[in-house]
Amino acid sequence: MCSVEQLDPDLEDASQVAGLLGPQTDQDIDARHPQQAEKFREIRQGFPSVIREDFFTLKLSHPSAELYIPDGRPPAQAYARTTHLGIGAHPDDLEFMTWWAILRCFQSLERGFTGVTVTDGRGSSRVDEYAGYSDDEMRSVRLKEQKRAAMIGDYAALVCLDYSSAEVRSRESRLVEDLIEILEATRPREVYTHNLADKHETHVAVTLAVIQALRSCRHRPDKVYGCEVWRCLDWMLDTDKVVFDVSAHENLTMSLMGVYDSQIAGGKRYDLATQGRKRANATYHMSHAADRASCLELAMDMTALLEDPSLDPAAFVLAHVDRFRQDVELRIGRLSQK
């Protein structure tokens, strides 16, 4: 049976917050925050002591790529805050698939979520008040929506790479190089992107680029997770699933999705569908026990693809499919013999 990751119960403990704000020696930080001691010291100092500001000038492929820092702090500080990095194909993917990472970092003094949106949103469907919008106008609308979500979600930073979907699926894309730039600047502890069994080709292309970039980086995160958008992960064996409890802050998660009016009013109720999926995950997670959460997010742990650079991504995900097939086959065979 897989375990369920839950948000720290003491995140809103006033005494903890007071302690973090008060004076701390390096020994205090090492003892209380061992995993992020170096980065947390940098944040408290207000600027990394050994890295120049010009190191944080990202050299991205598209001149139209944008960096947005909601609280206005310098890039060096925003990147130093980053512990969780989400990489989504389209504007809105982060807010549909990475609730756990966003909630984990929300208003935290020692964790920060940075989001990367790869494509420009020009090709989205449009009806009603958006029916007459040009591709450039839709790009502008979706960029504003993505920035609004970053503000609501208290992101450390947002990087919008402004690729077209066709570019992302092209082998000539420089997406891998851009992602290496971002990964080396932010040095995240955990990375969240699309899962390899997703049925959207642009999503899978982004995931393959993320894997290639991570394999080329000097910095290696502790974990890499593939999340749900255009295919759920309920089919995975319970022992293979990573399960995150995202029941808290329902008002926040609904607000994060609700900013995407161009998509929701455009004929796709992604907000209701996404919440419905996570509620269904919670109810159908355990068949013989009362619900312990109202919303669960499922993920595929893809860290093995970093630990073994020779592991083929297709072979990796098909091994999950094979275990699912074997589970079905064994159960039917066992019950057929009765």
Task: Write the secondary structure of 85-139 as one string of H (helix), E (strand) and C (coil).
Answer: EEEECCCCHHHHHCHHHHHHHCCCCCCCEEEEEEECCCCCCCCHHHCCCCHHHHH
Does residue 29 have a pLDDT over 80? no
Q: Which of 3-12, 97-106, 152-161 has the lowest mean pLDDT?
A: 3-12
The reported pLDDT for the residue numbered 8 is 57
H/E segment holding residue 245: strand 241-245
CA 191/CA 314 separation, integer angstroms: 20
Residue 295 pLDDT greater than 80, yes or no: yes
CATH 3.40.50.10320 fits 34-336, yes or no: yes
Token pair for 150: 């970053």
Contact yes or no for 47/74 (Cβ under 8 A):
yes
**pLDDT (average), residues 250-262:** 95
C-alpha closest to that of 144 among 197, 80, 68? 68
pTM, entire model: 0.84
The rounded distance, in Å, linking the Cα atoms of 183 and 87 is 10
Q: Which of 168-172, 184-188, 331-335 has the lowest mean pLDDT?
A: 168-172
The confidence score (pLDDT) of residue 4 equals: 67
pLDDT, tens digit (0-9, with 9 covering 90-100), for 224-246: 999 999 999 999 999 999 999 99
Crossing angle of the two packed helices 313-336 and 201-216, in degrees rounded to 10: 120
What is the residue type of 274? T
33-78 pLDDT per residue, tens: 455 556 555 544 443 333 334 445 788 999 999 999 999 999 999 9
* pLDDT given at position 292: 87
Provide the pLDDT for residue 128. 77
What's residue 31's pLDDT?
A: 52
Domain ranges, ordered by start, for the chain: 34-336
First to last CA, the chain: 26
